[in-house]
Structure 1
């Protein structure tokens, strides 16, 4: 009888300590879930513009982005399905704070290579994430028949961005994106060699796996031929995929082309439907 009582006492004591440890673990998990240091965005792009999210160390992303044609043309082009632009790309996380990307788009046959790097991270002592983003693009569609003195350097353009975001809570995040674009070859009648832009984008979560996103960029050196890009989108999380559906007035997928060569007018229904698909490995 004494042995039985002693055994039960030890068992109850062990359960009590185990329960206390379990509660501590639960409290720790809850703290992490509500930590403001979590990413402000689930996808690497808000809509077409870059977000402050980076690929993790040794992660590979395959990116497929598609923009159909102008939906306002109706049945003539089957609401844009006859005229599409596609971008294929890859992203590699060299570290948790640095990633590299390479892509190619059918529109203007443009190759882009870039680097994305975290400068400061939002936490209880600092209010925002700050990420740098740099891109060099090569327009391989330019021909010497049209530009007899064309040199390789004329094909190049550059983008520098500061991505500044704040995650206010589990559902809502905002980002400010000052940007600078330099083009070696340009038409002075419709654009400037050096262009300065400011973008504002945001994400609002409407369910566990779905959010509504929006972004708008103002080009301070716009000659009115090209339009300021305005885009609306939806993020859908499905396991290893992030699928983004979107509407935009810029058919071009490349970072520089999207920012500086938008042609559609929202008020006239000149918008392009498309999607971004990310697969992480």
Structure 2
């Protein structure tokens, strides 16, 4: 654990200060807001935030989750076991973005649409954004599921993201969510799952904030856990870099929300990061 924390500290310092000549760029990036958004990154930790891309803006996303740090030296505190997500996001308009990603864990492809419904202003207290995902699990094998059809690979997510920027330093978000899975094990989960999420961001310096989020799954059995994640946003030139700890190793939206397996109280935690590059 000491080695992991030392690695995190060194990694954060390098990323925060190695690109001083580019730091000014972050303040000139295009934005969809007349005032600053509630969140600087498109995700609070792993869950989506109300931030959208600007029109004709491209994002490249690289998300990485290492293995369970409680395994100790056997798997080098999780560094031997990793799951990676690669994705692209495109701003169709200032109020609509489309995304496509693929995660190594369960070889999951996700197509997403994120769209602004209501904007926080002097006359309305919150920002409201809709988010929809269709995912395809390509890891399913007909040897295990002889009657498998393409539709069985699909699952769906619908979210209402409701945020409020209380000050320059502090923002909160509620995320009521609904997940439907076409193929599921009724012994450990339901095909229809309702969740409620709470996430927040607190800015501790000009370029760094501390983030947290927690989702309660009202329709889950005891096998999977409610996802709880803590993270740090680091703003550098042209990037928002997020370091995080979570009890879910999955990067995909649906997998993260419904398939968390770690227990914080037992140290079953996954270290990871999200990296965005805007073009």
Name the TM-score class by shorter chain: 0.7 to 0.9
Question: Would you say the 8 A contact 1:37–1:122 is kept in 2?
Answer: no
Shift of 1:222: 1.1
Shift of 1:239: 1.5
- Structure 2 match to 1:123: 121
C-alpha distance in structure 1 between counterparts of 2:241 and 2:99, whole Å = 19
Shift of 1:36: 8.7
Deviations along 1:199-223, whole A, 9 cap, x unmatched?
0000000000000000000000010
Shift of 1:184: 0.1
Shift of 1:263: 0.1
Greater RCO (Cα-Cα under 8 Å, separation 6 or more): 2
Question: Would you say the 8 A contact 1:104–1:111 is kept in 2?
Answer: yes
- TM-score under structure 2 normalisation? 0.88
- Which protein has the larger Cα radius of gyration, Structure 1 or Structure 2? 1
C-alpha distance in structure 1 between counterparts of 2:117 and 2:250, whole Å = 28
Aligned ranges 1:13-162 → 2 under 5 Å: 37-162=35-160
Partner residue of 2:256 out of 249, 252, 258: 258
Question: Would you say the 8 A contact 1:36–1:168 is kept in 2?
Answer: no
- Structure 1 match to 2:221: 223
Aligned ranges 1:122-271 → 2 under 5 Å: 122-271=120-269
Across the aligned residues of Structure 1 and Structure 2, the Cα RMSD in angstroms comes to: 0.9
In the TM superposition, structure 1's runs of 4+ consecutive aligned residues that sit over 2 Å from their partners are 35-38
Shift of 1:37: 4.0
Q: How many residue pairs are counted as aligned between the two chains?
A: 247
Structure 1: unaligned runs, 5 residues or longer: 1-34
Question: Would you say the 8 A contact 1:40–1:166 is kept in 2?
Answer: yes
- TM-score under structure 1 normalisation? 0.87
